[in-house]
């Protein structure tokens, strides 16, 4: 078992992720326009984990739900005090998965990326993640 901890910037929200193995998480970059806006950066970085692997141990994140433009409702949760983005999940997989914002983990190197999505929307100055085992997709989920 691996237990990882995370929090928002102001520490009002804290959480734990418990996995059988770190390999059960799928960390990926996403270069799509929605992630750029939601993360306030040139890409989004999340780790997909089973829903039950996540336990919010302190505080209650605020939520925002919206159609991402392709008919898919995305739920995003963040700290209502400091604004840190904590997690997201599509309405279609709400009973199965959570996508943790990797920068909110206390150890940001705990779950290295396995792939990149929407590479066609990658900003021109950013290189690919250099790994033989990392996939690079033009679209994504
Ligand atoms: Zn906070
Ligand atoms: Zn995206």
HEC-encoded secondary structure of 36-78: HHHHCCCCEEEEEEEHHHEEEEECCCEEEEEECCCCCEEEEEE
For residue 58, report the distance from its CA to the centre of ligand 2, in Å: 27
For residue 15, report the distance from its CA to the centre of ligand 1, in Å: 12
Distance of CA 116 to the CA centre of its chain: 12
pLDDT tens for 37-51 read 999 999 999 999 999
For residue 9, report the distance from its CA to the centre of ligand 1, in Å: 5
What is the pLDDT confidence band of residue 111, given thresholds at 50, 70 and 90? very high
The pLDDT value recorded for residue 141 is: 62
pLDDT tens for 14-40 read 999 999 999 999 999 999 999 999 999
Residue 20 DSSP label: S
The pLDDT value recorded for residue 123 is: 97
How far is the C-alpha of 66 from the C-alpha of 84, rounded, in Å?
A: 18
Which domains are delineated in the chain? Answer: 2-136 (2.170.150.70)
For residue 27, report the distance from its CA to the centre of ligand 1, in Å: 23
Contact at 8 Å (CB) between 105 and 4? yes
Query: Over 80: is that where the pLDDT of 129 sits?
Result: yes
Q: Is the pTM of this model over 0.85?
A: yes
Q: Residue holding tokens 């990149």?
A: 116
How far is the C-alpha of 24 from the C-alpha of 48, rounded, in Å?
A: 9
- Least distant ligand from the CA of 61: 1
Number of Cβ within 10 Å of residue 29's Cβ equals 25
pLDDT tens for 51-108 read 999 999 999 999 999 998 888 999 999 999 999 999 999 999 999 999 999 999 999 8
């Amino acid at each position: 078992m691996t237990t990882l901890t995370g929090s928002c910037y102001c520490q009002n929200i804290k959480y734990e992720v418990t996995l059988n193995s770190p390999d059960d998480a799928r960390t990926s970059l996403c270069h799509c326009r929605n992630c750029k806006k939601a993360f306030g950066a040139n890409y989004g970085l999340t780790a997909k984990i089973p829903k039950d692997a996540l336990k919010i141990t302190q505080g209650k994140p605020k939520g925002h739900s919206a159609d991402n433009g392709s008919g898919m409702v995305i739920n995003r949760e963040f700290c209502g005090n400091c604004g840190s983005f904590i997690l997201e999940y599509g309405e279609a997989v709400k009973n199965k998965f959570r996508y943790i914002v990797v920068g909110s983990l206390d150890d940001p190197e705990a779950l290295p990326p396995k792939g990149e999505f929407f590479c066609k929307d990658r900003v021109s100055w950013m290189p690919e993640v250099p790994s033989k085992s990392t996939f690079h997709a033009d679209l994504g989920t």
